[in-house]
């Protein structure tokens, strides 16, 4: 396309010189606004309640705005109540309606609306009026816009008061307040970055995914747990078994059956029949959350857990033998069990098994599924493939996700960039290519998409489907980053030496400034103005670990939002906050503590880097895109004035 053809297309949107000039003025003005606030979350692991609270509260920033506005004029109790109203309007409104009489409740609503207007003016002040309008819920868009921009003169003051009086007198205060709170929350977080591992362990990854789908601007860097679910949906049966094993082991029946509509009755019937006399004590589930819709007896859940573990380990053995290029044939442990004495060799050493009940195993072909196991995994795979909600969520992960993202000078990825002990990038062979660093991650991005969009039945498609297992558990997988996943050893071998999973050299090397500089340059970033945001490995701060690595160039923000990790980390997770003034790490209390005492829920926020000058929209990736638009519009303006393109009004 020639320049003149492009400008002719552009003229359809800006048909006159005046229209082009107006847009140039608008875009230049937007570039001078402060950048919006970006929030970074990692390793949510199904903890919907905790995530929803942290997102709703903007990691304590909304409370900071309330303090700045009302600390001298409103009591602490009322400030707490206003914060809780914004975070959770429905429950807060119901509580006050039950505690107050009709007149008292109406008065409380009027005061609340006045205060919400002030908070909203503050959090929306860095946006254009048109951008705020786009965030306003449609039912009250005109009214909210008027309240946010009412003048202070006497005429408008009466107008302002009448709007609020009418909201209350018409009985619409609850709906209005709830939508106003939605707007405040929406203006408090401009961009949301999820650094992997939405799924597994916690009770409701399905609800987190629905929350993310509703959010206006979100990106996701795939984690190893996310990729396992993607593999399960794509039809990798080892991933199906692995995902369900973890779901059963963490008692997540509501998510699987009620959330995603995956029928577990065939599994429960199979497990009860095959493992009926086996207590399966080593497979008792971790009950961190109770099921509401699908409670399952612990003994039955233990049998279901073992059934899925055996199927997973058999399928893993088959897959790694089928794909010797993975370099994982040492993980075909199930095929190497000696059933004459119930031992297995791991790294050349013989170990006795803790369990001798294997009713579905043929000792001559240990990793071959029994007929019942094959029928079961086929049924479960079909359930994954046909779940309409899971299909929406996996498509969302594909459209908004990837192995990494570079945004506003920050490099985001979940696990690691595989490295050698000497500090160089590890070379990995993938589909006949020797790859390192960024090129390796780009190749994985492409391969994952072949699994979803490639031609079924081709060798390339089959290879891509199998590859999900390598991404989940492979020794050079950037999502896994360990020498092995010791599922077999932890179930069946007592000796702890076999349980050790050695981390990739990356995790030690990124403590060095020079390593982080090398990583940033690999992705085209200037280390003087850039950072790495990483997840995957929980930061054990109570043991002296710091989330800040490489002299401030890298932040590890897996801090234990998941209850499963909080004994290790000692708190309830991190969020990283990047606004126009600074980068800050917010350290949160466990959600169970926040729920018990919301007034004591404020996170510990530490500023980790102050910007040398306030960051404007023009300094961001959005600003770069706007400048390109401005340049094109300036060219269009010249074309109009020189007569190369005629204005449509002529």
What is the pLDDT, as a whole number, of residue 600?
67
294 confidence band (pLDDT: 50, 70, 90): low
What is the pLDDT, as a whole number, of residue 288?
63
User: What is the per-residue pLDDT across 348-390, written as a single tens digit (0 to 9) for each?
Assistant: 999 999 999 999 999 999 999 999 999 999 999 999 999 999 9
User: What is the per-residue pLDDT across 626-635, written as a single tens digit (0 to 9) for each?
Assistant: 999 999 999 9
Q: Coil, strand, or helix at residue 582? A: strand
What is the pLDDT, as a whole number, of residue 293?
57
Alpha-helical runs (H) found in 427-458: 437-453
Alpha-carbon span 217 to 339, nearest angstrom: 55
State mean pLDDT over 408-423: 96
DSSP conformational letter for 574: E
Alpha-carbon span 610 to 375, nearest angstrom: 59
Longest dimension (CA), the chain: 94
Name 475's Cβ contacts closer than 8 Å, sequence gap at least 6. 327, 328, 482, 483, 484
588 confidence band (pLDDT: 50, 70, 90): confident
Q: Coil, strand, or helix at residue 346? A: strand
Alpha-carbon span 475 to 491, nearest angstrom: 20
Q: Tokens 């009086």 map to which residue? A: 165
Q: Is 186 a residue whose pLDDT tops 80?
A: yes
DSSP conformational letter for 612: S
Check: pTM over 0.85? Answer yes or no.
yes
Instruction: Give me the phi and psi of 164, to 5 degrees please.
Output: -65, -40
What is the pLDDT, as a whole number, of residue 650?
54
Higher-pLDDT residue of 151, 189: 189
Alpha-carbon span 36 to 128, nearest angstrom: 11
* Contact present, 443 and 431 (Cβ < 8 Å): yes
Pull the structure tokens for residue 385. 């493939």
Alpha-carbon span 66 to 123, nearest angstrom: 10
Higher-pLDDT residue of 601, 518: 518
Name 10's Cβ contacts closer than 8 Å, sequence gap at least 6. 632, 633, 636
151 confidence band (pLDDT: 50, 70, 90): low
Q: Is 574 a residue whose pLDDT tops 90?
A: no
Alpha-carbon span 535 to 559, nearest angstrom: 9
Q: Is 146 a residue whose pLDDT tops 90?
A: no
152 confidence band (pLDDT: 50, 70, 90): low
Strand partners, 604: 587
What is the pLDDT, as a whole number, of residue 211?
93
* Contact present, 194 and 221 (Cβ < 8 Å): yes
Strand-by-strand arrangement of the 218-221 sheet: 401-402, 218-221, 191-194, 38-41, 574-578, 582-587, 604-610
What stretch of H or E contains 219? strand 218-221
**Over pLDDT 90: what percentage of the chain?**
70
User: What is the per-residue pLDDT across 80-97, written as a single tens digit (0 to 9) for each?
Assistant: 899 999 998 998 999 999
Question: Residue 81's closest CA among 52, 125, 48, 119?
Answer: 119
Q: Which long-range contacts (CB under 8 A, 24 or more apart) does 73-81 make?
A: 74/115, 80/598, 80/599
Q: Is the Cα torsion angle 45, 46, 50, 52 positive or negative in sign? A: positive
Question: Residue 569's closest CA among 582, 583, 588?
Answer: 588
What is the pLDDT, as a whole number, of residue 546?
87
Q: Is 207 a residue whose pLDDT tops 90?
A: yes
What is the pLDDT, as a whole number, of residue 48?
92
CA triple 547-548-553, angle to 5 deg: 140
State mean pLDDT over 477-497: 95
Pull the structure tokens for residue 534. 């990483």
Alpha-carbon span 576 to 534, nearest angstrom: 11
What is the pLDDT, as a whole number, of residue 593?
81
State mean pLDDT over 224-251: 96
What stretch of H or E contains 80? helix 76-87
Out of 6-10, 141-145, 412-416, 638-642, pick the least confident: 141-145
What is the pLDDT, as a whole number, of residue 290?
64
Helices 298-322, 237-249: axis angle to 10 degrees equals 150
What is the pLDDT, as a whole number, of residue 18?
93
Strand partners, 425: 419
CA triple 292-206-188, angle to 5 deg: 110
* Contact present, 390 and 213 (Cβ < 8 Å): no
What is the pLDDT, as a whole number, of residue 292?
62
Cα torsion for 87, 88, 89, 91, to the nearest 10°?
A: -160
Secondary structure (DSSP) of 95-158: HHHHHS-HHHHHHHHHHHHHHHHHHHHHHTTTS-HHHHHHHS-GGGHHHHHHHHT--SSHHHHH
Alpha-carbon span 380 to 369, nearest angstrom: 14
Pull the structure tokens for residue 458. 């081709």
* Contact present, 44 and 202 (Cβ < 8 Å): yes
Query: What is each CA distance from 122 to 152, 224, 241, 310, 613, in whole angstroms?
Result: 16, 39, 50, 57, 21
Q: Which residues of 105-137 are buried (b: 16+ CB within 10 A; e: fewer)?
A: bbebbbebbebbbebbbbbbebbeeeebeebbe
State mean pLDDT over 310-330: 96
Higher-pLDDT residue of 142, 602: 142
């Amino acid at each position: 396309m020639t320049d003149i053809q492009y400008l002719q297309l552009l003229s359809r949107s800006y048909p006159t010189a005046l229209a082009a000039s107006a847009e140039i003025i608008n875009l230049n003005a937007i570039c001078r606004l402060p950048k919006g606030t970006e929030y970074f979350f990692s390793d949510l692991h199904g903890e919907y309640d905790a995530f929803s609270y942290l997102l709703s509260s903007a990691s304590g920033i909304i409370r900071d705005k309330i303090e700045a506005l009302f600390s001298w004029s409103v009591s602490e109790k009322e400030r707490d109540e206003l914060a809780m109203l914004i975070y959770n309007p429905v429950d807060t409104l119901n509580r006050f309606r039950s505690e107050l009489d009709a007149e008292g409740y109406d008065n409380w609503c009027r005061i609340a609306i006045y205060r919400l207007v002030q908070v909203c003016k503050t959090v929306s002040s860095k946006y254009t009026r048109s951008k705020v309008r786009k965030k306003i819920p449609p039912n009250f868009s005109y009214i909210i816009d008027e309240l946010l921009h009412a003048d202070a003169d006497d005429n408008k003051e009466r107008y302002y008061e009448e709007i609020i009086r009418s909201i209350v007198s018409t009985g619409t205060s609850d709906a209005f307040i709830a939508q106003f709170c939605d707007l405040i929350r929406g203006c408090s977080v401009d961009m949301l970055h999820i650094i992997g591992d939405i799924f597994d362990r916690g009770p409701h990854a399905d609800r987190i995914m629905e929350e993310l789908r509703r959010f206006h601007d979100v990106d996701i860097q795939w984690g190893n747990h996310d990729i396992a679910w993607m593999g399960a949906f794509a039809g990798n049966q080892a991933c199906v078994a692995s995902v369900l094993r973890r779901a059963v082991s963490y008692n997540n029946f509501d998510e699987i059956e009620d959330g995603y509509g995956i029928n577990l009755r065939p599994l429960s019937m199979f497990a009860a029949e095959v493992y009926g006399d086996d207590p399966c004590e080593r497979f008792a589930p971790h009950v961190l959350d109770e099921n509401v819709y699908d409670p399952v007896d612990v003994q039955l859940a233990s049998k279901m857990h073992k059934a899925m573990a055996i199927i997973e380990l058999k399928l893993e053995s088959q897959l790694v033998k089928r794909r010797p290029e993975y370099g994982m044939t040492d993980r075909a442990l199930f095929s190497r069990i000696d059933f004459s004495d119930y031992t297995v060799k791991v790294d050349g050493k013989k170990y006795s098994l803790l369990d001798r009940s294997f009713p579905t195993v043929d000792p001559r072909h240990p990793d071959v599924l029994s007929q019942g196991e094959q029928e079961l995994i086929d049924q479960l795979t079909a359930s994954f493939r046909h779940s309409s909600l899971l299909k929406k969520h996996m498509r969302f992960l594909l459209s908004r996700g990837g192995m990494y993202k570079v945004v506003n000078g920050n490099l985001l990825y979940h696990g690691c960039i595989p490295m050698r002990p000497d500090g160089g990038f590890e070379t990995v062979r993938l589909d006949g290519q020797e790859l390192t660093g960024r090129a390796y991650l780009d190749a994985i991005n492409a391969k994952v998409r072949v699994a979803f969009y490639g031609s079924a039945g081709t060798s390339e498609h089959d290879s891509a489907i199998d590859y999900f297992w390598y991404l989940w558990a492979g020794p050079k997988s950037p999502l896994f980053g360990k020498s092995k996943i010791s599922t077999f050893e932890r179930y069946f071998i007592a000796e702890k030496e076999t349980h050790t999973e050695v981390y990739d050299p990356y995790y030690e090397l990124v403590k060095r400034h020079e390593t982080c500089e090398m990583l940033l340059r690999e992705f085209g970033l200037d280390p003087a103005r850039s950072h790495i945001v990483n997840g995957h490995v929980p930061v054990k701060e109570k043991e002296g670990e710091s989330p800040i690595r490489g002299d401030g160039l890298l932040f590890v923000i897996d801090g234990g939002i998941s209850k499963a990790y909080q004994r290790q980390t000692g708190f309830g997770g991190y969020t990283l906050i990047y606004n126009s003034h600074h980068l800050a790490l917010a350290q949160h209390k466990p959600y169970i503590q926040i729920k018990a005492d919301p007034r004591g829920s404020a996170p510990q926020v530490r500023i980790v880097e102050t910007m040398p000058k306030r960051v404007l929209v023009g300094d961001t990736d959005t600003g770069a895109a706007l400048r390109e638009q401005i340049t094109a519009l300036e060219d269009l303006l010249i074309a109009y004035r020189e007569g190369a393109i005629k204005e449509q009004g002529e």
